Amino acid sequence: MSYNLTVTIDKDSGFCFGVVYAIEMAEDILDHEDYLYCLGDIVHNDEEVRRLTDKGLRIIDHEQLKSLRNEKVLVRAHGEAPSTYELALKNELILIDASCPVVLKLQNRIKNSHDEGEPILIFGKHGHAEVIGLQGQTDGQAIVFQDLSELDNVDLPSSFTLYSQTTKSTDKFYHIKDQLLSRGYEVKANDTICRQVSNRYGDLEKFVVNFDKIIFVSGKKSSNGKVLYDVCKKYNDNAYFISNVEEIDFSWFNPNDRVGICGATSTPMWLMEQVKAFLLHH
């Protein structure tokens, strides 16, 4: 059966500048060298990681980092805690720092708050690379929560500074701030959400209403992928989340459907192109 689909890729989707910067840095080095270590997945997208590991990128974790000596190691856009830089000095590692400027600015603000003795709360995903780097600025003293309910049984100080992981939803951040204020806390809130992510909410909202079906392409580990998919789903009920073409199910479509393809800030354009080609050839 031929579906005769019309398929359009959202021109505003694809890598944010932090990811572009990290990947270009890795590719520049791999053009001249056989391999390059990278601390953690360079981007939360398995397909793109595979493309780069084929070129010689070697993904390692913090445990493996400890046993390296005299090697080059890429710090990805998500940033790292101070302890990583200390270890690199000790083990004579050259760090190629591709930390995103938005994340670095936030790390700096959190460090200054902490140095001034302010209690700190971070709205972010537990165990997420960026959040570990942020919490590291406070010697692990900041309270991290991804849901307000987590704070119900916590003895919080009467006043504190609230920060957010850069890829969280702005609406949720302000809702959390209001809730904490209504509970009688004195909250100094720093909206540190990346505008490259939050501007996409509005862009996606306008994009997804024009189609019968939406295919949202993102890695399962992507934080902003989850946030942006929720935006799609809110404005177009027929939105489907996939990580690669194998996950496409043609029972989603009717003949002559108009299909829109969009993705996270960690979704490569080539992957969305691949999804488009796959849909058009069926």
Catalytically annotated residue among 86, 118, 130, 273: 130
SS3 per residue for 181-193: HHCCCEEEECCCC
Maximum CA extent, the chain: 66
For residue 5, what are the contacts with CB-CB under 8 A and spacing of at least 6? 253, 256, 257, 258, 259, 279, 280, 282
Does the annotation count 130 as an active-site position?
A: yes
Per-position b or e across 104-131, b if 16+ CB within 10 A of its CB: eebbebbbebbeeebbbbbbbbeebbbb
- What would the two tokens of residue 78 be? 């998500």
Write out the catalytic residue numbers: 130
